[in-house]
Structure 1
């Protein structure tokens, strides 16, 4: 059996180069510019472990180091529009994220006109059901309403809190059912984007939901929801149970999924129910990035990168499944060294050729990870429902 390097990361660590440089060596080999010996495993090219390849990679790494000293860095100044969209805290968070982890926080894309793009995308899904998560959430609430109602086990009216709910439409079937049964006490929407909450208000009016409402601009990835959830319980008078919704895998776009879950759970009381929906992992998941062919989604996910002026001539796109983290990733791979200038703060972020700038990441669930999440958070799993057609799941948790 041929012995080969299992990953680009392994080679990059040995030769002191970036993963992008290793990828470029493989590309050069396929173009017959250099002559590494490769083997293909499951459709992926790997570099064989032998003396011939070691000598070539040593030579390529040394050439790269020499050229690095000769190449000039390109100064890229971020767009003034970025300063109108992000407040100072968000800008500083973005700078820190780029410097520390080479990431553009995905949550920032929903600010300002990003909400318009999401609304256009949602309207598209109503026409052609391209996006399975939307139709899955509708199925869960329309077909599993009785189970949800029985699981919360109360005759009292119920508060519903919708976390990162977009335009609020995915939660509407549940709200309508509860209102029809005279069980809906209030509806609260929480989102990082005030523009997205405006769409939620419009959809509520259109849906005919008539209960007390509350809207909070909040970054639940870094802020606990304890205070908001406590105040919600007393909307309209006496304390009432709450159903907290996190639909469409919204919690799984976070840099720290476990911490984001914790920010919700620490605000729950024993009588509350926390309902999560997400896509399930499956053999096709690592290579399925079909959503990015939808114009609104591509424009949305690249929105902040464009405002940073990371243009197409500076970057290559990379869509990968990270075996180590189990995240699907959309990365921009830099094609030259750049100084990214934030004039407002008189600060420059130094980035290098082949650096990967992550603009989107998402972790899919497994039944094992659902149980692990519940155990880690010390909550009880009350229900787990798999969609009969799509690879989507809904599960409900409550405090023990």
Structure 2
């Protein structure tokens, strides 16, 4: 089957090559590619729905609550004599960014970085009136060097919604994040920690076992239609990953052009989404290994959702020198009243 021509207008040549290689060699479609095109609107609808629900789907609400808990730490950490800007890696619909910018001086520059131009446009609409600089880029693989702030400006890097644990290499992603930070810059990193409940948690409406609309965007463009697969969701204890994938009910042959043909047999599986499960201690180690010093954190009442505030040190091993100086008030009680469960 030939792919939808829109594939070549929505994605760059390098991105199409990556999609073809991932499908052919690893039987996967990376999550970030599904937020392009119609996927942006689908995700915006999902985010709006997530603000109205509790239970397993409360991650966005927890993010907002934990950002508010860390507000005193953030304001005390930033230098009021310096200009501040926010670099948001994977801004979604802009909801967490709006909450963060509401804590910072008017006129704070906001840089949204995402592979999806359409999702950046959604965020721009929701952040109307802000100094929004959209950067269409794959922050997992492309250089971030030009995003390092000029002297005299301090940066707050926002990496929330579990985005870190959706990436192929969370440790590598944190090293890339640290590379765009100068000494004194701040990272706000939000994740959902490993927990028996989180291993079986998926953002689904009650009784809905089909793929969400944003999860099937690339499949649709490749001509792999819902009648040709069965969705599967689960947790892989060996890889310590939650996953969403499809099992094909018929063989397919996807022709990307220029001699790039991918054949997938009946019964084979294609992964569409992953979430790396990490413990609290493992997250501390990842942050320290990137050269960042975690100095504050807030967590949900049940301990599943964690927001870490970390700063960039001034020398090699700086992240290892600080042993997570946590304010006990920030570490749980402050967020307890807003917990969804």
Per the normalisation by structure 2, the TM-score is 0.83
CA distance in 1, matches of 2:26, 2:205: 23
Distance 1:337 1:330, change over 3 A: same
The verdict on how the C-alpha distance between 1:217 and 1:296 changes in structure 2, with shifts beyond 3 A counting, is farther
Residue among 100, 108, 115 paired with 1:185: 108
Q: Report the alpha carbon displacement of residue 155 of structure 1 after superposing the two structures with TM.
A: 4.0
- Computing the radius of gyration from Cα coordinates, the structure with the larger value is 1
Cα distance in structure 1, aligned partners of 2:288 and 2:186: 16
Cα distance change of structure 1 residues 173 and 339 upon mapping to structure 2, 3 Å threshold: closer
Partner of 1:120: 45
Paired residues in the alignment total 311
Residues 121 and 296 of structure 1 are in contact (CA less than 8 Å); yes or no, is this contact kept in structure 2? no
Q: Distance in 2 between matches of 1:126 and 1:132?
A: 7
Q: Does 1:196 align with 2:119?
A: yes
1:216 equivalent among 117, 130, 135 = 135
CA 297–227 in structure 1, closer or farther in 2 if over 3 Å, else same: farther
| Aligned partner of residue 194 in structure 2, secondary structure | coil
**Any unmatched runs of 5+ in structure 1?**
1-75
**1:3-82 to 2 correspondences below 5 Å:** 76-82=1-7
Q: Paired residue for 2:316?
A: none
Give CA deviations for 1:342-371 in whole Å, capped at 9, x if unaligned: 2x3232112223322111111233212112
**Equivalence for 2:328:** none
Matching residue of 2:201: 288
SS in structure 1 opposite 2:153? coil
**CA separation of 1:332/1:381 partners in 2, compared to 1, >3 Å: closer, same or farther?**
same
What RMSD in Å do the two structures reach over aligned CA positions?
2.3
What is the match of residue 170 of structure 1?
A: 96
Distance 2:269 2:11 in 1: 23
The offset of 1:296, in angstroms, is: 10
Unaligned runs of 5+ in 2: 314-341
Partners of 1:322 and 1:153 in 2: how far apart? 44
Partner of 1:382: 295
The corresponding residue for 1:263 is: 176
Counterpart residue number, 2:326: none
- Provide closer, same or farther for how the CA distance between residues 163 and 295 of structure 1 changes in structure 2, counting only shifts above 3 A: farther
- Contact 2:145 2:180 (8 Å CA) reproduced: yes
Query: Alpha-carbon deviation of 1:154?
Result: 4.8
Please tell me whether residue 93 in structure 1 is matched to residue 18 in structure 2: yes
Q: Which has the higher contact order (CA 8 A, sep 6+)?
A: 2
TM-score (norm 1): 0.72
* Structure 1 residue 159, shift from structure 2 partner: 1.2
**Structure 2 vs 1, CA of residues 297 and 263 (structure 1 numbering), >3 Å: closer, same or farther?**
farther
Conserved? CA contact 1:136–1:390, under 8 Å: no
Q: Against the structure 1 CA distance between its residues 155 and 146, is the aligned structure 2 distance closer, same or farther, given a 3 Å change threshold?
A: farther
Q: Is the 8 A contact 2:248 2:269 kept in 1?
A: yes
Correspondence for 2:241 among 319, 327, 342: 327
**CA separation of 1:144 and 1:353: change in aligned 2, threshold 3 A:** same
Deviation digits for residues 146-180 of structure 1 (CA, Å, limit 9, x no counterpart): 1122234554332111111112121212211212x
User: How many angstroms does 1:282 deviate by?
Assistant: 0.7
* Distance across 1 between alignment mates of 2:202 and 2:102: 33
Q: Which has the higher helix share?
A: 1
Residues 387 and 109 (structure 1), Cα distance of their counterparts in 2 relative to 1, 3 Å cut: same
- Cα deviations by residue, 1:305-358 (Å, 9 ceiling, x for unpaired): 12222223432222121112211011112234332222x323211222332211
Write the distance in 1 (CA, Å) between the matches of 2:78 and 2:210: 37
2:16 and 2:266 mapped to 1: Cα distance?
23
| Offset, 1:392 | 0.7
CA deviation digits over 1:60-83, x for unaligned, max 9? xxxxxxxxxxxxxxxx33333323
Pair 304,257 (structure 1): closer, same or farther in 2 beyond 3 Å: same
